[in-house]
Amino acid sequence: MISGYLSIYLAFVVVVSLVIAFLVLRLKLPSPRLTITLLIIFILSPLIVGYLYVVYFNSLPEVTVPDVTGVAFETAQERLAADNLVARQAGSIYEAKYPEGFVVSQRPEAGRNVKAGRVINLMINAVSSKVPVPNLLGKELADAGAILQAADLQQGDVRRERNPGQREGTVLAQEPLPGEEAPTGSRVDLLVSTTLEVQSVPDERE
């Protein structure tokens, strides 16, 4: 790694020297002292940065990022601190399977090797907001899915019941009922009509 850095550094010195020489000739700078000062600054700056990188950052030990998803943010902070890592709340998102305030995802991911002191960004589960369930009765199944998506809800289990008096795929019943409030992202189960004989089979998901 050091040899590669030195190669880049030498190439940088050559390029900077040529650029400054061109500027001196082109602009006819009156003060050679200024030119020499600029040249020294440009040459030494990457050397200093490289030295600090090698001495300080590169000497830090590596640790393996633990899995802190599915736990409270405070617990995640403690687990990460025990491995010399820093927890940072990067934002919030609603995930139905986790309680409020629990870690939904992390970056870098669990199992990666990082330098000690690295900041681990955590997405926290937000408070579940509620929305009114739209009235899907009499709607066709394809239209019902689009209506649910627009209301920030999901189509749940779909059961079929033989009803020759209704068009194929018409919604006959729903759970939750129209007008009830449901958490954002939750599922609405549907009962739809069919003109065919219905066999006793497990519920299907459309």
Residue with tokens 């020759």: 164
DSSP 111-178: T-EEETT-EEEEEEEPP--EEEPP--TT-BHHHHHHHHHHTT-EEEEEEEEE-TTS-TTBEEEEESPT
Q: Say what the pLDDT of residue 150 is.
A: 93
Give residue-wise pLDDT tens across range 63-107: 999 999 999 999 999 999 999 999 999 988 777 788 889 999 999
Give residue-wise pLDDT tens across range 138-172: 999 999 999 999 998 999 999 999 988 888 999 99
- 55 pLDDT band, cuts 50/70/90, is low
Enter the DSSP assignment of 196: S
Q: How many CA atoms lie within 13 A of 46 on its CB side?
A: 14
Task: Count Cβ atoms below 10 Å from residue 52 Cβ, excluding itself.
Answer: 11
Question: Residue 108: is the preceding peptide bond cis (ω within 30°)?
Answer: yes
Q: Say what the pLDDT of residue 173 is.
A: 96
204-205 and 154-162 strand pairing: antiparallel
Q: How far apart are CA 109 and CA 122, in angstroms?
A: 10
